[in-house]
Amino acid sequence: MAMPARSRDPLDLVSLRQLRYFVSAMRAHSFSAASRDASISQAALSEQIALLESTLDVQLFDRASGRAVATASGHELDRRVSACLSELQAALRDVQARASTVAGLVRIGLVQSYAGCWVLPVVRRAQAQWPQLAIAPHRPWWRACCVAISISPSASTRSRMPIWRSWPASTSRWWPWD
């Protein structure tokens, strides 16, 4: 048995497109200007907003004498939906930006003799290309790296394993484990 429309979750019944058209109409203070901004006909925009009002069972605009004036419910919905759409847009942009980012922790364990001649140049290039990449050398190996790049670890950090977050050519910095 199907649930009545009013008891269902409004997110199941309302489309993102309807909400965007509604916010566009609120910003433009006109259905015709909003329809131009959205690149659709005024009739299509008006139909989508009417469908939104019908789905929510709330009048969002007073339509009198050819003008659509937002109601108090319309202003409240606009305030809240605009904030949500902005947050959603920021989240989608962040996800896209992070999808191409190489980040995380790489732990390296190898024979000490490879440290200076083979691994250091690769580590430097990797960190220049991917600044979000952290490199944690295995304990015997990091002492060889310190010698190879002229780092003198302090007494308080000698027993800790470092994580290199940046490794510029002129100076090298490292952060011990938390």
Instruction: Please give the structure tokens belonging to residue 50.
Output: 């009417």
- Among 5-14, 40-49, 68-77, 137-146, the least confident range: 137-146
Closest by alpha carbon to 151, among 109, 113, 115, 107? 115
Give dist(CA 60, CA 77) in Å, integer.
8
Helix and strand tally (H, E) in the chain?
7, 6
Residue the block writes with tokens 């952290």: 134
pLDDT at residue 176, rounded to an integer: 42
What is the average pLDDT score of the chain? 76
Q: What percent of the chain has pLDDT over 90?
A: 34
Interhelix angle for 31-38 vs 42-56, to 10°?
110
Give dist(CA 35, CA 26) in Å, integer.
11
Closest by alpha carbon to 164, among 125, 133, 138? 133
The pLDDT tens digits for 8-29 are 787 788 999 999 999 999 998 8
The pLDDT tens digits for 108-162 are 776 666 666 777 788 788 888 888 888 777 655 555 555 555 444 444 444 444 4
Give dist(CA 79, CA 105) in Å, integer.
41
Please tell me what DSSP assigns to residue 3. P
Give dist(CA 102, CA 77) in Å, integer.
39
Cβ–Cβ under 8 Å, residues 53 and 18: no
Residue the block writes with tokens 């430097």: 124
